[in-house]
Chain A
Amino acid sequence: MNPLWEALTLQAGYNATLVAVGAALLGIAAGATGSFMVLRKRALVSDAMAHATLPGVGLAFMLMVALGGDGRNLVGLLTGSAVTAGIGLLGVDWLTRRTRLAEDAAIGSILSVFFGLGIVLMTIIQTMSSGRQAGLESFLLGSTAGMLLSDAITIAGGGALALGLVWLLRRPMTMVAFDAGYAQAVGVDVRRTDLAMMALVMGVTVIGLKIVGLILIVALLIIPAVTARFWTDRAEALVWIAGGVGGVAGYAGAAVSASAPDLPTGPIIVLIAAALFLVSLFFAPLRGVVAAVLRHHHFQGRVHRRQGLLSLSRAEPIHDPMTLRVLRRDGLIRADGVATDRGAAEAARAARDERRWTAARDLHQDTALIGRYDGLTAIDAVFTPDQIAAFDRHLGREGMI
């Protein structure tokens, strides 16, 4: 059997299975959390936090070695990374509130400085006790190769925990992300909800360090949310579609990466998410590019057809090539531009529609109804037959028929 299929169907060993499940849980949690964050327009704050984990990993390693421990204990390293990520988040907040720097400058400076500090610590660790520094670089780009069973359990458990918290907090977070003012008015504590959201983002970042790595974890938070945006306009649905995209990317990415050498886990997960994004960008039925182009084309056709029919009814010559094409396609005019029988009938009907609309504007002051006039909507889609009969009587009195 081929190794990719084995990995995808969870037959590539106990560890690989746990990692794939853990990556899927992490992906769902990241997608859902990320969609709240993107709706709050704080997408890149998570990038600063992710880069700020590096000094924490280094410090935790040094501390654990100084205390006589192994130094590679994953729980210890992740705790350390959470501490400095938290400091980084506070730093971004502090710079944005206390100085006149904008948030993007605050994000960029925290990101680069913490990452620089982390690199300095890494070079110190490299010289400390060369045999034991194994594997800290794997936090940069993620790696599941040679992962210990306890690490895999930690990641799967952490992913499940984060997902559970998203489920518990989904209502206040949806409200705040969608309309902070309204949420405040109905008694949601916006500040604490924001704090909880950023804490969740931090949790996802820290859990994702080992699988996706700190440079790319931000992708797992942003890409699913942006992808989901093409499929729905509803906040509730957005969150779970994003979770689905993240879950698929995490699961498939971990499986693909386990199936062959030289396939780093983090980049593979991100590239699968990016592929899902590209497909959505072009082919999503609601907001995708192809759907938008088709809608535009269809609308254009309707406008040209209607205007062409009105010109026919007034026996005006038609010059616009697109109008001619549309009328010919629908069999309303012959090749020489003269109206067919059906074309003449349709033209008369369009002209009558326009006259009835004129009468409707004379008789009705209700803008909700006559405001529906856009030159395309048929009048019987808006008014009842009784009302239309009344318009015809009005037109008869005015001598317009």
Chain B
Amino acid sequence: MRSKFGSPVLDASARLLAPFMWLFAAYVLVHGHDSPGGGFQAGVILAASIIMLRLVRGEASPPGLTSRGALTFACAGPLLYGGIGIVSVLSGGNFLDYGELPLPMDPVQIRVLGTLGIETGVMIGVTGVLVLIFDVLAPWDDGTV
């Protein structure tokens, strides 16, 4: 419970704020096609919430997301993005031609899902990279991942 970081006020505010930031990131992600926002902005908001938790509660916060986990995120995002592109090439279209994705649905729905998929990839990648940069720069870190 006791840690050398933060204070009860900071702790309570960060705990209160983080779920709403995650909700807002999800909103920005899924509404990116018809309102300001999109994958990059959602990723930045998510990364800002994680960096806020790390600033207030220290290195091991939020529990379960280590620097290694952030590195995995940073690699999984581009993998998802490129994977969707490659799958649409393999099923006969151009690179990132969402309409060709092999899903049992209406082409319009497949297109929307494909866009959401690459936006999610962008979000995961941006989140991972920003958290990773913070972890490398953080005062308690020795500069390695």
Chain A bound to chain B = no
Residues of B within 8 A of A (CB): none
